């Protein structure tokens, strides 16, 4: 009997170790959790309860390749990196620009798209080019941005660094709110990525995008630094999806001119 209990104990402790090991890493289970901020058409947005967009479709294709179910968490843009870092989400995919600062906190996959920071103004605005923004802020005008995005980072930077100073920037929870602030004259322009800019301009009368390109950026998927296996798996999936034309097909569907 004693021997039996002893064997039972050994079996139980082995089982415990095995189950602990399998819940240690989020990439071991059968879901791939993607953190995004779904107010960024055509990359991610909601239609009723459904998530749509380029990132959503690419993520679905990646999950399929990894044999996992995609789960999407719609969170504030600024909380994506922290959530990935802490392991709450497997990856962050949100038209997210690769920056050196962000690279200190997370790893990035290979890039799958490029973005350009653009400036939206009201038609007939005195701001006719990027150069006019400094005059606008000197006259008391404000720049609208989505909080924690690269648009925010550039605009809020000091003048010496090419920005306009934090005091001249109003931060909104999402791009749509920033654009509404422009419509109601609370800000004189909005700095945001070009494709969302096009969507917002198409959805609101009387707005236009300045011709000048502010800056060009690479979009990639954020993954926790200690999650090398997932980084490798995602890069492999992205590579296959690029080679077999899936990514082009998805992008074409949402951005037909490309």
Nearest Cα neighbor of 43 from 126, 98, 113, 101 is: 113
Shortest Å, Cβ 103 to ligand ARG: 12
Choices 93-101, 125-133, 157-165, 221-229; region in contact with ligand ARG by CB under 6 A? 93-101
Shortest Å, Cβ 10 to ligand ARG: 50
Shortest Å, Cβ 217 to ligand ARG: 6
> Of 27, 97, 168, 194, which lies in the binding site for ligand ARG, with binding defined by CB under 6 A?
97
> Which token pair is 26?
């989020």
> Of 33, 37, 109, 199, which lies in the binding site for ligand ARG, with binding defined by CB under 6 A?
37
53 is an interface residue for ligand ARG by CB under 6 A: no
Nearer to ligand ARG, 187 or 192 (CB): 192
Shortest Å, Cβ 153 to ligand ARG: 7
Q: Are 237 and 62 in contact (CB under 8 A)?
A: yes
> Of 115, 141, 144, 188, which lies in the binding site for ligand ARG, with binding defined by CB under 6 A?
115
40 is an interface residue for ligand ARG by CB under 6 A: yes
Shortest Å, Cβ 40 to ligand ARG: 3
Shortest Å, Cβ 152 to ligand ARG: 7
R_g of the chain, CA atoms, integer Å: 22
Residues that bind ligand ARG (CB under 6 A): 36-37, 39-40, 44, 77, 94-97, 115, 146, 149-150, 193, 217
């Amino acid at each position: 009997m004693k021997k039996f209990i002893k064997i039972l104990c050994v079996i139980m402790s082995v089982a415990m170790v095995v189950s602990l090991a399998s819940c240690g890493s989020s990439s071991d289970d059968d879901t791939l959790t993607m953190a995004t901020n779904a107010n960024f058409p055509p990359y991610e947005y909601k239609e009723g309860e459904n998530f749509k967009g380029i990132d959503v479709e690419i993520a679905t294709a990646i999950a399929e390749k990894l044999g996992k179910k995609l789960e999407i968490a719609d969170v504030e843009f600024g909380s994506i990196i922290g959530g990935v870092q802490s392991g709450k989400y497997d990856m962050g995919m949100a038209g997210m620009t690769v920056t050196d600062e962000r690279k200190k906190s997370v790893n990035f996959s290979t890039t799958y798209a490029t973005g350009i920071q653009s400036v939206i103004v009201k038609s007939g605005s005195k701001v006719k080019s990027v150069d006019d923004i400094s005059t606008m802020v000197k006259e008391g005008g404000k720049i609208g941005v989505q909080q924690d995005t690269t648009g925010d980072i550039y605009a809020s930077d000091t003048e010496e660094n090419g920005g306009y100073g934090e005091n001249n920037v109003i931060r909104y929870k999402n791009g749509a709110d920033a654009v509404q602030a422009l419509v109601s004259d609370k800000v004189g322009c909005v700095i945001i990525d070009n494709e969302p800019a096009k969507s917002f301009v198409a959805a609101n009368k009387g707005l236009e995008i300045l011709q000048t390109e502010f800056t060009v950026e690479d979009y990639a998927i954020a993954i926790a630094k200690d999650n090398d296996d997932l980084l490798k798996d995602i890069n492999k999936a992205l590579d296959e999806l690029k080679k077999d034309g899936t990514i082009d097909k998805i992008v074409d569907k949402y951005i037909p001119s490309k």
